[in-house]
Structure formats: C-alpha cells, structure tokens
C-alpha cells in the first residue's frame, strides 16, 4: 500500500505525519509542489508486456501529462529481482541529488521509495502500482528500489539526455531507513 511519512530532517526515527490515504498523501505533497495521483490501465497489462503495450494501456494519461508539461521523451523501464545490474542501479539513486527538470514516474507494477528533502523535512513516499509522482526540478531527493527491486515504471523527460542527477554530497540519505519491500519499508 502507498504511504507517506514526514520526518524532521534531524530525526529519522519519529515521523511527524503518516498516511496511507492517497487523497491525504496528495494534499500533503501538493503543499511542497509534488504531484501525486493514481492512474488505471485502459486494458490489462500482462507480465512481460512490451513497452509499447504498457504505454498503450495508459495512453490517455500519458498524452494528457505530455500536453500539460511538454515532455519530449516517454519510456518504460523495468527491473527484476534477479537483474545482474540491480545493485549498481540501486546505488546510483541512493544518495541525495536533484535534477534540472521534473522527475516524473508512474508505477505500472511493483514499488519503490522516494525521499524528498524539503524545508528541513524529509517526505518519504512509498509508491506502488498505479501511483504517479512528479518531483519538481531542483528538489533534493533520493530513490530506493530495495535490494530485490521489482518494478515497471513509465518515465517522462523534457531533456534529451534523460536522467541527469546533480549530487549534493551530503550524507542525509544514509541516515534515513532504506526500502525493504514487503517489510513495512
């Protein structure tokens, strides 16, 4: 189940806000400019579906978001627990960074944990199947897919280079819990 926890940046042990209600999550995240919404497929998406079939199942929402935000590239990324690149991919996103464009992801399947560092707080968002998150450009954050990642996501980009992270060099991400799928992470 999707969940939002909000912490003071100095206290990763005691969340100040916790909710699994998607409407409450969206309202709380909207306060910091983060988009959080849910999409439903227009047709079934079977495991192993091609990127074209995945995007076809969400075409109306994809087209709406592209028109609203001017995205130039939309793709599908998939990672399985047995992927030989899983550890390297996980490490790539674990340290605090920001982008010069919005980071927008839709979870077709599986889950992951976005942590946003905004105004002295850490907003920890567990995204699950059906969740779309839009993190505004310049927002410091990190992402954890867990030690056995399993997800399919649709990604949206305005820059031709795709994902470009600017790392802050802080250790804040190491002080907060990592994502352990299926263990309340």
Q: Is residue 59 part of a domain?
A: yes
Q: Please give the biggest Cα pair distance in the chain.
A: 45
Q: Is residue 183 part of a domain?
A: no
Q: Is residue 22 part of a domain?
A: yes
Residue 107: which CATH number? 2.60.120.10
Q: How far apart are CA 72 and CA 70, in angstroms?
A: 6
Q: Is residue 180 part of a domain?
A: no
Task: Please check whether residue 173 is in contact with residue 95, taking contact to mean a CB–CB distance below 8 angstroms.
Answer: yes
Neighbours of 42 (CB within 10 A): 12
Q: Is residue 35 part of a domain?
A: yes
Q: Is residue 42 part of a domain?
A: yes
Q: How far apart are CA 8 and CA 145, in angstroms?
A: 23
- Residues belonging to the chain: 185
Q: pLDDT for 120-163, tens place per residue?
A: 999 999 999 999 999 999 999 999 999 999 999 999 998 867 67
- pLDDT of res. 185: 47
- pLDDT of res. 162: 67
Q: What is the 3-state secondary structure (H, E, C) of 21-90?
A: CHHHHHHHHHCCCCEEEECCCCCCCCCCCCHHHHHHHCHHHHHHHHHHHCCCEEEEEEECCCCCCHHHHH
Q: Is residue 60 part of a domain?
A: yes
Per the structure, the count of domains in the chain is 1
- pLDDT of res. 183: 45
- pLDDT of res. 181: 67
Task: Please check whether residue 151 is in contact with residue 111, taking contact to mean a CB–CB distance below 8 angstroms.
Answer: yes
- pLDDT of res. 76: 95
What is the span of the domain harbouring residue 151?
Answer: 3-175
- pLDDT of res. 174: 96
Q: Is residue 181 part of a domain?
A: no
Query: Which residue positions in the chain have pLDDT lower than 70?
Result: 160, 162, 181-185
């Amino acid at each position: 189940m999707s969940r939002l926890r909000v912490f003071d940046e100095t206290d990763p042990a005691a969340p100040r806000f916790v909710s699994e209600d998607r409407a409450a999550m969206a309202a709380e995240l909207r306060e910091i400019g983060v988009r959080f919404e849910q999409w439903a497929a227009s047709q079934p998406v079977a495991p192993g579906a091609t990127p074209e079939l995945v995007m076809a199942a969400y075409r109306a929402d994809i087209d709406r978001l592209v028109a609203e935000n001017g995205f130039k590239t939309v793709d599908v990324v998939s990672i399985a627990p047995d992927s030989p690149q899983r550890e390297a991919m996980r490490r790539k996103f674990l340290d605090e960074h920001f982008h010069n464009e919005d980071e927008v992801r839709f979870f077709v399947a599986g889950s992951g944990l976005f942590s946003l560092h905004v105004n002295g707080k850490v907003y920890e968002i567990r995204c699950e199947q059906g969740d779309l998150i839009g993190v505004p450009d310049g927002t410091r954050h990190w992402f954890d897919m867990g030690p056995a990642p399993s997800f399919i996501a649709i990604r949206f980009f305005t820059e031709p280079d795709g994902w470009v992270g600017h790392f802050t060099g802080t250790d804040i991400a190491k002080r907060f819990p990592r994502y352990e799928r299926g263990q309340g992470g």
